Chains A and B, each alone.
Chain A
Amino acid sequence: MYVNVALGILSSLPMAIEGTNRLIVDIAMFFGLLVIVAMALNFQYGNAGIPNMGCAVQVIIGAFSVSAVVLRIMFTVIASSGVPLQDWNDPYNWVYSSPFNVGLSNEFIKTNAPIAIGFFLLSIGIALTLGAAIGYLLALPAIRLRATYLMIVLITMADASQIIGRNVTFISGGTLGVWIPNVFAWYPGDFGVIMAVITLLIGLICFFIFRTMLNSPYGRLMRSMRENEVTLGSIGKNVVGIRRNILMFASGITAIAGVINVYYLQFSNESGYQRAYWTYWPWLMLILGGPGNNAGTFLGAALIIALRRLIIVFKFELQPFFFFPIPYLEDIILGGLLVIVMIFRPSGLIPEKLLYIPGVNYAKMVQEDVKVDWRAAPKARAKKGSKEEKK
C-alpha cells in the first residue's frame, strides 16, 4: 500500500527532463559510470597495490565487445525476425549501412522489450568474460615488472588498443565508428533517466560486491600483499596468482562501464576512449578521495564529476573570467588538483583507516598472555634433546 501511495505522490508531480533536471540526470549518469571505474581502481591500487594505469584498456574492451560481438548477434536475431536489414558483413557495409540498420533495429526493439533487455544482459556477460580475459593478459607483464615499469606498459597497452580499434574496421568501425541500437527504445519516456537509473543500480551492485570482497579474508590478503608481498610469498601464498585474480576480476567490472557508455552514447568509436578520460580522471578521483576506502572513492568521484559537468555545461558563462580557451580548464584542473593533493593531502580527503573486523580485537590478540621463561628455555630444550638422543 505504502508503495502505491509513494508512486501516486511521485507520479502526480510530472516533470520534464530538461534544464536543471537534465543536468542532474547527466551528472548522475557520469557519476555512476565513473564510480564503477574508480571503485575497480581502488580495488586494484588502493587495496592490492597494483598501479593499474590501463583502465582505458578495460573500458575499451567493454565498448568493443558491444560493437564487435553483440551488435552482430543483434543484427542476426533482428534480421531473422523478418526485418529487412542491409548487408553488414564486409567492413565497408559494416560502417556505411550502420545508421540504416540501427534505425530499423530501434523500430524492432520498440515492440520487443524482452529481447532488448536480453541483448543488454548478454553485453554485460560478454564484457565480463572478455574483460577478465584482458585482465589475464595484463597480468602477464605484471608478474615480472616492478610498479613503475608496469605503469608504463599498461599506458602503452591502452594506446595500443585504441590504435587497433582505429585501424581494424570490423571491431568498431575504424575512424568513422558504428552506431549502436538503443536497447531502451521500448521505454516511452526520457532515455537519459532510465539509463542513469540502470547505471546507478549497476554501480550499487558493484559497490556491494567490492565491499563484500574487501571485508572477507581475501580482502585482508590483498592488503597484506600491498603492504609487503615478499612476506606474503615467504609464508606460502601465491602472490602472482592473487595479483592475476585481482586484475581479472577488476577488469571484468571495469568493462561493464564501457558497455554502459556505448549504450548511452549509442555510438562506438575508439576516439571516445582516450587514456586521459578513462585512466587519469579515475586516478585523480581515487587520489583526491583517498585510496584504500570506498568512502574516499565516492567522494572523489562525486566532486570531480560535478566539477567537470559544471565546467562543460557553463563553459560560455565561465569563458569571460579566463584568458585561455575554457576547454583547457579541465586539463588544468586535472593537473593542478593532482599536484595540490599530493603536496597537501597525500592520503586523500578521507584517509584510510585501520582495518576493522567485527568481533576481532587485534590488540587483545597481540597481548595474549604467553608465559615463557626465557632463561629456563635453553636448558629445557637441551634436556628435551638429550632425552630424545637416549631414546
Chain B
Amino acid sequence: MNGLLLIASIMRLVGDAAADQYDTILFWLMIALWVIMPAFIVYEEINERKALKEAEKATEGQV
C-alpha cells in the first residue's frame, strides 16, 4: 500500500508535463505485450509440433 502511495505521489508530483514520457513507455510496453503473447504461442506451437513429429518418427515401423 505504501509503495502504491509512493508511486502515485511521484506521478502526481511529476505532473502532466511528463505525461508524454509515461505514454511513450506504456505504448512500447503495450507493443511488447502484444508481440510477446502471440510470439510465445507460435514458439510453443512449433516446438510441440516438432516434438510430435519426432515422437512419430521414433516409433515409425515399430507398431
Contact = CB atoms under 8 A, between A and B. Distances in A.
Interface of A: 7, 10-11, 13-17, 21, 24-25, 28, 31, 111, 113-114, 117, 186-190, 193-194, 196-197, 200-201, 203-204, 207, 293-295, 298-299, 302, 350, 353-354, 356, 358, 361, 363-364, 366-367
Contacts of A113: 4-5, 7-8, 11
Closest 3 CB pairs of A and B: A113-B8, A363-B59, A189-B19
Given A10-B24, A31-B34, A358-B51, 19 more contacts: A14-B20, A14-B23, A15-B20, A21-B27, A114-B8, A187-B11, A187-B22, A188-B15, A188-B18, A188-B22, A189-B26, A193-B27, A197-B26, A200-B34, A207-B41, A299-B38, A356-B48, A361-B59, A363-B63
Contacts of A114: 1, 4-5, 8
Interface of B: 1, 4-5, 7-8, 11-12, 14-16, 18-31, 33-34, 36-38, 41-42, 44-45, 48-49, 51-52, 55-56, 58-59, 62-63
A10 B42 contact: no
A202 to B, nearest CB: 10
A204 B26 contact: no
A189 B48 contact: no
Nearest to A17: B23
Contacts of A31: 34
B24 to A, nearest CB: 5
Nearest to B49: A353
A294 B23 CA distance: 30
Contacts of B14: 188
10 contacts: A7-B25, A188-B16, A189-B19, A190-B19, A193-B23, A193-B26, A193-B27, A298-B38, A361-B59, A366-B63
Contacts of A188: 11-12, 14-16, 18-19, 22
Contacts of A197: 26, 29-30, 33
Contact of A367 (B4, B7, B59): B59
B45 A363 contact: no
A11 B15 CA distance: 15
Given A15-B27, A293-B45, A294-B41, A204 B33 contact: yes
B1 to A, nearest CB: 6
Given A15-B23, A28-B30, A363-B55, A186 B37 contact: no
Contact of A200 (B16, B33, B41, B62): B33
Contacts of B34: 28, 31, 200
A367 B60 CA distance: 12
B6 to A, nearest CB: 10
Contacts of A363: 55-56, 59, 62-63
